[in-house]
């Protein structure tokens, strides 16, 4: 994708045209939440103004139309990630989806079915393997699962760059490993994990793989069937779609083994005062009134991104990411986390500036109209390992232009002098 094309695409995103602090907005916080193109806003509005209704219940015309839209959306989103429609369940977001998986495994370990079978049942001495670079959403639910089952939580340590490699993970896989959960793309270092190799390794010990696909599905072609993972999670708001919706993917056999983590209306077959039987997946993971307009809008986001082309988006962002890493790290006193030539990286760059706190960095950049993220990015252990409490993250997307990266580099170049950190 050319810079020219990125400029053209900006016209689809009304929010990007605005000025902040009297300068053009340079939005480089797509890793936290992406912006939405008009086509997505229109799709949601059309649904709400024409078909809005609760799905799978009413016998009236609007309910039928809404149910059709809702299930069409499932087909579209499933096809976007190389899954079948019955392998994806709507959740509130990736955090929610990861909790559904971990809590479902906890329930299976207590003997709750479905048809819970050995691979999803954990007991004392079993192991859950994650990495030290995980987002808290892919860390805390596994700590809770370990507490609930007596399993041990192990992690792949990161190196001084904050990155890790397959060879670091390999020795931690044992015949007690039951779950391997990891981010496809790190939200701090941008590291792209060797998914297929980890899946192959997991299969040698019968471990279940869980992919946090929050930072991959929005930014690159992803095919869950081809990758071979058992479960995956991603959020709508990071991929030009709405918030309040995310996806739990489960390979059909695995999803069938997972008990529901949440119960209530819409997910039951028969309820008596004594007991309840649950519907088959994916419905059994969708308790309560469903986020229908969000599902419709997420499908519109998938259509929009597919039309632009996910390979083109990936190539564009990786080029911008490489540029940010090279030019930021060339500035005196600036260190880019994950600046490790031996690992493939995505289109974001988190950095630390000697003598200037990340919050001051982001405030300074904000004054120049540049929106970045400052903090621990929900990855405290990774930052602790690197000896810092916070970093600043600039993250790109399909609309990011060379001019915007120029603006970032120019602004960052002046920060240490402004704060007197270069004296």
CB 384: neighbour CB atoms within 10 A? 12
Ranges within 159-178 binding ligand PMP (CB under 6 A): none
Residue range at the interface with ligand PMP (CB under 6 A); choices 20-28, 88-96, 251-259, 399-407: 88-96
Q: Which of 20, 256, 378, 388 is catalytic?
A: 378
187 contributes a contact to ligand PMP by CB under 6 A: yes
CB 112: neighbour CB atoms within 10 A? 15
135 contributes a contact to ligand PMP by CB under 6 A: yes
> Angle 233-235-237 (CA atoms, 0-180°, nearest 5)?
170
214 contributes a contact to ligand PMP by CB under 6 A: yes
Distance (Å, rounded) from C-alpha 379 to C-alpha 132? Answer: 9
> Angle 155-160-165 (CA atoms, 0-180°, nearest 5)?
50
Nearer residue to ligand PMP within complex by CB, 66 or 81: 81
Residue range at the interface with ligand PMP (CB under 6 A); choices 47-55, 132-140, 352-360, 398-406: 132-140
Residue range at the interface with ligand PMP (CB under 6 A); choices 42-50, 211-219, 247-255, 262-270: 211-219
Alpha-carbon torsion, ordered 278, 281, 287, 288, to 10 deg? -110
Alpha-carbon torsion, ordered 361, 234, 340, 204, to 10 deg? 150
215 contributes a contact to ligand PMP by CB under 6 A: yes
138 contributes a contact to ligand PMP by CB under 6 A: yes
CB of 220 to ligand PMP, least distance (A): 14
229 contributes a contact to ligand PMP by CB under 6 A: no
Please indicate whether residue 378 is annotated as part of the active site: yes
Ranges within 357-386 binding ligand PMP (CB under 6 A): 378
CB of 395 to ligand PMP, least distance (A): 9
Active-site residues, by number, are 378
Which parts of this chain interact with ligand PMP (CB under 6 A)?
A: 93-95, 135, 137-138, 183, 187, 212, 214-215, 235, 246, 378
């Amino acid at each position: 994708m050319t810079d020219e094309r990125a400029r053209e695409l900006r016209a689809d995103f009304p929010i990007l045209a605005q000025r902040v602090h009297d300068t053009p907005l340079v939005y480089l916080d797509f890793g936290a939440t992406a912006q939405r193109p008009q086509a997505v806003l229109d799709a949601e509005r059309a649904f709400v103004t024409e078909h809005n209704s609760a799905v799978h219940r009413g016998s009236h015309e609007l309910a039928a139309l809404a149910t059709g839209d809702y299930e069409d959306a499932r087909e579209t989103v499933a096809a976007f990630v190389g899954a079948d429609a019955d392998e994806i369940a709507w959740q509130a977001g990736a955090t929610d989806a990861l909790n559904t998986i971990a809590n479902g495994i906890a329930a299976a370990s207590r003997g709750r079915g479905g048809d819970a079978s050995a691979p999803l049942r954990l007991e004392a001495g079993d192991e859950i393997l994650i990495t030290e670079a995980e987002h808290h959403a892919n860390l805390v639910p596994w700590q809770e699962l370990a507490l609930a089952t007596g399993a041990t939580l192990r992690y792949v340590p990161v190196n001084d760059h904050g990155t890790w490699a397959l060879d670091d993970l390999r020795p931690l896989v044992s015949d007690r490993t039951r779950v391997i959960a990891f981010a496809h793309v790190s939200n701090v270092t941008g590291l792209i994990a060797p998914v297929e190799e980890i899946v192959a390794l997991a299969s040698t010990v019968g471990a279940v793989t869980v992919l946090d696909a929050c930072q991959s599905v929005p930014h690159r072609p992803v095919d869950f069937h081809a990758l071979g993972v058992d479960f995956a999670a991603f959020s709508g708001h990071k991929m030009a779609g709405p918030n309040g919706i995310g996806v739990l993917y489960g390979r059909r056999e695995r999803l069938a083994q997972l008990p529901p983590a949440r119960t209530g209306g819409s997910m039951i077959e028969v309820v008596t005062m004594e007991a309840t039987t649950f519907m088959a997946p994916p419905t059994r993971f969708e308790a309560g009134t469903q986020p229908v307009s969000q599902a419709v809008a997420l499908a519109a986001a998938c259509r929009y991104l597919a039309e632009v082309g996910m390979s083109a988006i990936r190539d564009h962002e990786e080029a911008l990411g490489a540029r940010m890493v090279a030019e930021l790290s060339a500035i005196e006193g600036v260190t880019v986390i994950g600046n490790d030539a031996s690992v493939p990286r995505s289109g974001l760059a988190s950095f630390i500036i000697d003598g200037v706190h990340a919050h001051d960095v982001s405030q300074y950049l904000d004054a120049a109209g540049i929106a970045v993220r400052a903090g621990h990015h929900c990855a405290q252990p990774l930052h602790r390992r690197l000896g810092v409490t916070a970093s600043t993250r600039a993250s790109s997307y399909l609309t990011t232009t060379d001019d915007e990266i120029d603006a970032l580099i120019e602004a960052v170049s002046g920060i240490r002098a402004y704060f007197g950190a270069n004296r």
